[in-house]
């Protein structure tokens, strides 16, 4: 046990002396989490507000005068264009409106989601809707009828999702991904340094010649990687908790401006769990860290150099992106319990369920047991790798 | 103190070491001489328990290198030319780290570090520097200090002067003679014959994994009419 601590201490001491590693392992997750959760939203919110407040040019063809007046009222400047589609494509105008034979056709650059053109299209749609409502009201009045005729009943939609899910916000599905990513990234630099780095620098042989059993060398290195992984995860959670609170208070007005009036939701992403929920997140993260460090150390030992180790480890981050894509649509999927026995994927699913407050005991039990089993297997493989002379002296 | 009996090492179809036997007694410096790729490093790594022999046996300080590897390691030190120590640690931290594996703590550790520093001419101020800020020669001295901190009965030196300047090389050769004079057992592996002539009592010529000659230095010199390099080439030609 003593040797394990001595080796872990040495690895951590080397890390502490490397400012670059400390920055990427501890500071980056702390800053990244709130920025990733709220940064794009605030940028988008700011851009949307500016688009609303400023006047944009919209190409028009055959549009009647009353509609032009509505467009101007909606802060849009109509300009005559010969070819509306081409004018939009060449960005001469943000959108274009054509009227012919009782039909309006609206052109905008819509294939990239939320663009300035899309926001201007919404402004034009709003102006047309206002004009339409004005016409309908006029016609109803001409027939001696009121507009209440069009609204036979009122509809109110209320969010019935669990409290945790409501508080987590619309970007909550990103939290598990960032958490596992930082656990992996936090451990990666130490894992590379403690394995392939030692080989490349020529320090491993001296350590292996010391009277320390191989298991203790492996566990000592693993412990150092584990500590850094968990510190990175804690930094990420701290960043998320502090950052979301700061952002939601500091930019309350801007975030409010982004809300849909008919269905208000918590924007960004944050954690708001019961103590047991935090405990579940911690346990899932610890077990995942065990699994990932065993994989990282195994790969690092096999590699000849830093570069080779990094090239083996980097694809792991890409592997994590695949389940993330599914997480976005997890509500449409019928989650089977056995999904929670699949390595790596189960951790993302379980963290997502905890964050949303929908995790069941079976799902969490399966995740923890299978992650522990896979972690044990990975650790055993790392030990076997460490025993192989052709791997240790492969440099 | 070192007994090697018909030791072999094979990697799949490649036979790196072929049935080597020799003995080294306390106070002796045994020169294991041969060109690059002859099998010197593999032999020393087997003695240091870093590699497992595929046949034969070896005992270091009375312990079987395959079956009692931890006990053997407690009684040996190894230095090779490519060996380095942790560059972000200070010299003192490196010695503290390795010393703790041999139950060297507190006052005892300080006393041993002082002893090794004096033997290798390392100034106290240098020990407080991070290894990356030291000269190559000084780094090599820290590597050696690490290997002798527990005062091992057996010291294995593999191309230990590689990359060293003339002053550092001289200091190392002087240290080898001084350490042997303490009654320690040394194996000095090199392809530089002049170094072997200076520090070794007995020599073994290794070629393509086989020991083609073994005997006292004086006898080897006579074989080459007073020149070890000539003796080495002559013996290798005879073996071919």
Smallest CA–CA distance, residue B188 to chain A, in Å, is 17
Smallest CA–CA distance, residue B86 to chain A, in Å, is 7
Q: Which two tokens stand for residue A179?
A: 């958490």
What DSSP string runs through A247-275? Answer: HHHHTHHHHHHTS-SSS----S------H
Chain B residues in contact with A201 (beta carbon < 8 A): 84, 87
Reply yes or no on whether the pLDDT at A160 is more than 90: no
pLDDT bracket for residue A114 (50, 70, 90): low
* 8 A C-beta contact, residue B32 and residue B40: yes
Reply yes or no on whether the pLDDT at A1 is more than 80: no
Smallest CA–CA distance, residue A395 to chain B, in Å, is 11
CATH topology of domain B2-75+155-239: Rossmann fold (3.40.50)
Residue from the list B11, B86, B101 with its beta carbon closest to the beta carbon of A203 = B86
Asked if A201 and B74 come within 8 Å (Cβ–Cβ), the reply is: no
Of A273, A248, A187, A227, residue with least CA distance to A37: A248
pLDDT bracket for residue B97 (50, 70, 90): very high
Share of chain A above pLDDT 90, in %: 43
A225 vs A265, which has greater pLDDT?
A225
pLDDT of residue A180: 87
Reply yes or no on whether the pLDDT at A220 is more than 80: yes
Q: What are the tens digits of pLDDT across the range A342-369?
A: 888 899 889 888 887 888 999 999 999 9
Q: Is B230 helix (H, G, I), strand (E, B) or coil?
A: helix
B interface toward A at CB cutoff 8 Å?
A: 11, 45, 48-52, 70-71, 73-74, 76-78, 80, 82-89, 93, 97-98, 100-102, 130, 143, 146-147
Q: How much is the ipTM here?
A: 0.92
Cβ neighbours of A356 (radius 10 Å): 19
Q: What are the tens digits of pLDDT across the range A55-95?
A: 999 999 999 999 999 999 999 999 999 999 999 999 999 99
Q: Compute the distance between CA of residue B43 and CA of residue B24 in angstroms, rounded to an integer.
A: 14
In this predicted structure, which of A250-264, A331-345, B17-31, B67-81 has the lowest mean pLDDT?
A250-264
Residues 6+ apart with CB under 8 A from A249: none
Chain A residue at shortest CA distance from B46: A209
Reply yes or no on whether the pLDDT at A261 is more than 60: no
Chain A residue at shortest CA distance from B68: A211
Of B218, B92, B67, B63, residue with least CA distance to B154: B63
Rounded (5°) CA angle A152-A154-A159? 155
Q: What are the tens digits of pLDDT across the range B203-227?
A: 999 999 999 999 999 999 999 888 9
Reply yes or no on whether the pLDDT at B55 is more than 80: yes
Cβ neighbours of A1 (radius 10 Å): 8
Asked if A206 and B87 come within 8 Å (Cβ–Cβ), the reply is: no
Asked if A13 and B130 come within 8 Å (Cβ–Cβ), the reply is: no
pLDDT of residue A272: 67
pLDDT bracket for residue B2 (50, 70, 90): very high
Give the C-alpha distances (Å, rounded to integers) separating A62 from A75, A82, A101, B80. Answer: 19, 11, 10, 88
- Mean pLDDT, residues A288-294: 92
pLDDT of residue A44: 74
Residue whose tokens read 């972690």: A375
Smallest CA–CA distance, residue A6 to chain B, in Å, is 7
Length of chain A: 395
Asked if B82 and A201 come within 8 Å (Cβ–Cβ), the reply is: no
- Mean pLDDT, residues A318-339: 76
Smallest CA–CA distance, residue B78 to chain A, in Å, is 7
Asked if A203 and B85 come within 8 Å (Cβ–Cβ), the reply is: yes
Strand bridging mode B76-80 / B2-11: unpaired
Chain B residues in contact with A14 (beta carbon < 8 A): 86, 88-89
pLDDT of residue B145: 93
pLDDT bracket for residue B103 (50, 70, 90): very high
Smallest CA–CA distance, residue B75 to chain A, in Å, is 9
* 8 A C-beta contact, residue B205 and residue B236: yes
Phi, psi of A100 (to 5 degrees): -155, 135
A interface toward B at CB cutoff 8 Å?
A: 2-3, 6, 10, 13-14, 17-18, 201-203, 205-206, 208-213, 389-390, 393
Q: Compute the distance between CA of residue A190 and CA of residue A25 in angstroms, rounded to an integer.
A: 10
Residue from the list A10, A213, A389 with its beta carbon closest to the beta carbon of B86 = A10
- Which sequence spans correspond to the domains of chain A? 2-39+164-392, 48-148
Asked if B97 and A205 come within 8 Å (Cβ–Cβ), the reply is: no
Phi, psi of A104 (to 5 degrees): -100, 135
Asked if B97 and A10 come within 8 Å (Cβ–Cβ), the reply is: yes
Sheet containing B14-24: order of strands = B14-24, B2-11, B55-60, B63-64
Asked if A211 and B50 come within 8 Å (Cβ–Cβ), the reply is: no
Residue from the list A18, A209, A213 with its beta carbon closest to the beta carbon of B50 = A209
Of A361, A336, A5, A392, residue with least CA distance to A198: A392
A250 vs A230, which has greater pLDDT?
A230
pLDDT of residue A255: 63
Chain A residues in contact with B77 (beta carbon < 8 A): 209
Smallest CA–CA distance, residue A357 to chain B, in Å, is 45
Asked if B82 and A202 come within 8 Å (Cβ–Cβ), the reply is: yes
Q: What are the tens digits of pLDDT across the range A164-201?
A: 777 666 666 777 888 888 898 888 889 999 999 999 99
Asked if A3 and B73 come within 8 Å (Cβ–Cβ), the reply is: no
Burial class (CB in 10 A: 0-12, 13-18, 19+), A140: middle
Reply yes or no on whether the pLDDT at A270 is more than 70: no
Phi, psi of B164 (to 5 degrees): -90, 150
A29 vs B72, which has greater pLDDT?
B72
Buried b (16+ CB within 10 A) or exposed e, B105-134: eeeebeebbeebbebbebeeebbeeebeeb
Reply yes or no on whether the pLDDT at A331 is more than 90: no
CATH 3.40.190.10 matches A48-148: yes
pLDDT of residue A167: 67
Chain A residues in contact with B85 (beta carbon < 8 A): 203, 206
In this predicted structure, which of A262-271, B5-14, B121-130 has the lowest mean pLDDT?
A262-271
Q: What are the tens digits of pLDDT across the range B149-202?
A: 999 999 999 998 887 888 888 988 999 999 999 999 999 999 899 999 999 999
Chain B residues in contact with A209 (beta carbon < 8 A): 48-50, 73, 76-78, 147
Chain B residues in contact with A10 (beta carbon < 8 A): 86, 89, 93, 97
Average pLDDT of chain A to the nearest whole number: 85
A259 vs B174, which has greater pLDDT?
B174
Asked if B102 and A211 come within 8 Å (Cβ–Cβ), the reply is: yes
Q: Which two tokens stand for residue A142?
A: 């001409």
Q: Is A102 helix (H, G, I), strand (E, B) or coil?
A: coil
pLDDT of residue A119: 87
Chain A residues in contact with B89 (beta carbon < 8 A): 10, 13-14, 17
Reply yes or no on whether the pLDDT at B90 is more than 70: yes
Reply yes or no on whether the pLDDT at A150 is more than 90: no
Chain B residues in contact with A390 (beta carbon < 8 A): 11
Give the C-alpha distances (Å, rounded to integers) separating A199 from A12, A206, A304, B48. Answer: 18, 10, 7, 17
Share of chain B above pLDDT 90, in %: 80
* 8 A C-beta contact, residue A192 and residue A14: no
Substitution target from B88, B132, B150, B158 for chain A, most A beta carbons within 10 A: B88
pLDDT of residue A283: 93
Buried b (16+ CB within 10 A) or exposed e, B140-176: bbbbbbbbbbbbbbbbbbbbbbeebeeebbebbbebb
pLDDT bracket for residue A267 (50, 70, 90): low
Q: Is A170 helix (H, G, I), strand (E, B) or coil?
A: coil
Chain A residues in contact with B130 (beta carbon < 8 A): 17
B78 vs A328, which has greater pLDDT?
B78
* 8 A C-beta contact, residue A79 and residue A58: yes
Chain A residues in contact with B78 (beta carbon < 8 A): 205-206, 209
pLDDT of residue B133: 95
């Amino acid at each position: 046990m003593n040797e394990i601590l001595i080796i872990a201490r040495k690895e951590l001491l080397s890390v502490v002396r490397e400012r670059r590693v400390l920055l990427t392992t501890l500071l980056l997750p702390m800053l990244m989490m709130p920025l990733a959760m709220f940064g794009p939203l605030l940028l988008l919110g700011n851009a949307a507000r500016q688009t609303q407040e400023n006047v944009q040019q919209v190409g028009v063809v055959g549009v009647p005068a009353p509609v032009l007046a509505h467009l101007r009222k909606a802060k849009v400047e109509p300009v005559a264009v010969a070819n509306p589609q081409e004018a939009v494509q060449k960005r001469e105008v943000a959108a274009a409106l054509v009227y012919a034979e009782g039909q309006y056709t609206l052109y905008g650059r819509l294939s990239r989601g939320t663009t300035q053109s899309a926001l201007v299209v919404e402004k034009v749609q709003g102006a047309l809707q206002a004009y339409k409502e004005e016409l309908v009201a006029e016609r109803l009045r001409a027939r001696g009828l009121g507009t209440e005729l069009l609204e036979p009943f009122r509809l109110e939609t209320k969010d019935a999702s669990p409290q945790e899910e409501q508080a987590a916000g619309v970007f909550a599905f990103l939290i598990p991904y960032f958490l596992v990513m930082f656990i992996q990234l936090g451990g990666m630099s130490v894992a590379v340094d403690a394995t392939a780095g030692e080989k490349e620098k020529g320090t491993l042989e001296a350590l292996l010649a010391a009277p320390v059993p191989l298991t203790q060398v492996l566990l000592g290195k693993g412990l150092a990687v584990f500590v850094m992984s968990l510190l990175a995860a804690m930094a990420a959670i701290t960043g998320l908790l502090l950052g979301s609170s700061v952002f939601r208070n500091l930019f309350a007005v801007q975030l409010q401006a982004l809300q849909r009036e008919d269905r208000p939701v918590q924007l960004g992403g944050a954690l708001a769990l019961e103590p047991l929920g935090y405990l579940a997140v911690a346990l899932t993260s610890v077990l995942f860290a065990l699994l990932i460090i065993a994989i990282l150390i195994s790969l690092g030992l096999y590699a000849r150099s830093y570069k080779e180790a990094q090239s083996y480890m980097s694809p792991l981050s890409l592997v994590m992106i695949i389940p993330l894509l599914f997480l976005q649509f997890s509500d449409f999927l019928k989650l089977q319990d056995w999904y929670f026995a699949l390595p790596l994927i189960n951790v993302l699913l379980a963290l997502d369920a905890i964050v949303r407050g929908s995790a069941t005991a079976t799902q969490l039990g399966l995740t923890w047991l299978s992650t522990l089993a896979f972690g044990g297997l990975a650790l055993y493989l790392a030990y076997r790798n460490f025993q192989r002379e052709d791997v240790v002296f492969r440099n | 103190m070192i007994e090697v009996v018909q030791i072999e090492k094979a990697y799949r179809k490649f036979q790196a070491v072929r049935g080597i036997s020799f003995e080294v007694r306390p106070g002796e410096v045994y020169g294991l001489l041969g060109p690059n790729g002859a099998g010197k490093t593999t032999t020393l790594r087997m003695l240091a328990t870093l590699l497992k022999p595929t046949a034969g046996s070896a005992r270091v300080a009375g312990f079987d290198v395959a079956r009692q590897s931890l006990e053997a390691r407690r009684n040996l030190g190894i230095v090779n030319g490519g060996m380095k120590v942790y560059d972000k640690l200070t010299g003192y931290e490196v010695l503290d780290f390795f010393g703790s594996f041999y139950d060297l703590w507190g006052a005892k550790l300080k006393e041993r570090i002082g002893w090794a520093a004096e033997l290798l001419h390392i100034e106290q101020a240098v020990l407080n520097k991070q290894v990356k800020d030291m000269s190559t020669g000084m780094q090599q001295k820290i590597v050696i200090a690490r290997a002798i901190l527990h005062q091992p009965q057996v010291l294995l030196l593999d191309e230990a002067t590689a990359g060293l300047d003339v002053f550092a090389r001289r200091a190392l050769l002087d240290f080898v003679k001084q350490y042997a004079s303490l009654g320690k057992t040394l194996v000095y592996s090199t392809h530089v014959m002049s170094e072997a002539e200076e520090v070794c009592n007995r020599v073994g010529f290794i070629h393509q994994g086989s020991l083609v000659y073994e005997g006292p230095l004086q006898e080897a010199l006579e074989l080459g009419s007073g020149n070890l390099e000539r003796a080495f080439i002559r013996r290798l030609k005879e073996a071919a």
